[in-house]
Amino acid sequence: MIEVRRHVDTPKGLSLKRLDKAIRIVLYYVQHMFNIIPCIAGCGRAAITGSRLCAVHAANPGQESTRIAAEIRGQPTVKDINASGLSFEDEHFSDSSFNGCAFIETHFSRCSFLQTHITMNFFDFAIFDSCLLIGCDIRFVSFAGATLWNCTFDSAELTYLNFNGSLLSGCTFSSSDLYHSRFINADIDSVQFNNCNLTGVYFVKARQRNVVFSSSNTAEAIFGLKDIDY
């Protein structure tokens, strides 16, 4: 049982109730996440789910992408899949739940994530090109070092996300909750945050060009070390 004591100092805008819930969710997924199976080529990468090889050493990566996409479309809940390094184009991953999956260095082009639930997934160094993420519930997910071009996040729950070191260009966040997400050291170019909840969102050392914050509570965000309550 995890207890959050009342005298604990919490970061700016973070309630004890939400912190307690966050800790419980993280611990659950850490305990139940997939076992990493190494690629038999000995490269140190994880093997693709259903294969003994990683995407780099797979004989036909395109065929592996087609197989994994079919598996995802065929079930409402996707758990413990490793599709790192694969590419998906014009796929519809809507009305699904992704739990504890790895899509590291995966390329998504013109893919749709509508009403999709994504929890404790890894999209580190992935590429999202012209993707739609509308009505999604995305929590405790890492997009560290990822590249997002012309993506739309609309009416979405985007809480406790890690965009640290990522590149975002031409993206739009509308009517979305980014509660306690991180854009530390990110490169943010021509991005709009329209009517978004930015409570506890970190933009520390983020490089911003042509960024628009319209009707969003920027006073509750952290843009520099001086904004942090110690």
* pLDDT computed for residue 41 by the predictor: 96
First vs last C-alpha separation in the chain = 27
pTM: 0.84
Collapsing DSSP to helix, strand or coil, 188 comes out as strand
| Structure confidence at residue 224 as a pLDDT band (50, 70, 90) | confident
Better-predicted residue by pLDDT, 5 or 52: 52
What does the pLDDT look like over 69-117, one tens digit per residue? 999 987 899 999 999 999 999 999 999 999 999 999 999 999 999 999 9
| Helix or strand run (H / E) with residue 24 | helix 16-32
* pLDDT computed for residue 75 by the predictor: 87
Backbone φ and ψ for 128, nearest 5 degrees, come out as -115, 115
Backbone φ and ψ for 99, nearest 5 degrees, come out as -125, 120
Distance CA 167, CA 128 (A): 10
Q: How many CB atoms lie within 10 A of CB 152?
A: 15
Backbone φ and ψ for 67, nearest 5 degrees, come out as -65, -45
* Contact status, residue 185 vs residue 166, Cβ threshold 8 Å: no
Residue 30 identity (one-letter amino acid): V
Residue 135 identity (one-letter amino acid): G
DSSP string of 27-82, one letter each residue: HHHHHHPPPP-B-TTSSSPBPPTTSSS-TTT-S-HHHHHHHHHHHHHT-SEEES-B
% the chain with pLDDT above 70: 83
- Strands annotated E in the chain: 77-79, 87-89, 97-99, 107-109, 112-114, 117-119, 127-129, 132-134, 137-139, 147-149, 152-154, 157-159, 167-169, 172-174, 187-189, 192-194, 207-209, 212-214
Which tokens in the block code for residue 28? Answer: 């659950």
Class of domain 16-65+77-227: mainly beta
What does the pLDDT look like over 129-152, one tens digit per residue? 999 999 999 999 999 999 999 999
Mean pLDDT value of segment 216-228: 85
Chain centroid offset of residue 179 CA: 13
Which tokens in the block code for residue 26? Answer: 């993280």
What does the pLDDT look like over 66-79, one tens digit per residue? 999 999 987 899 99
What does the pLDDT look like over 150-161, one tens digit per residue? 999 999 999 999
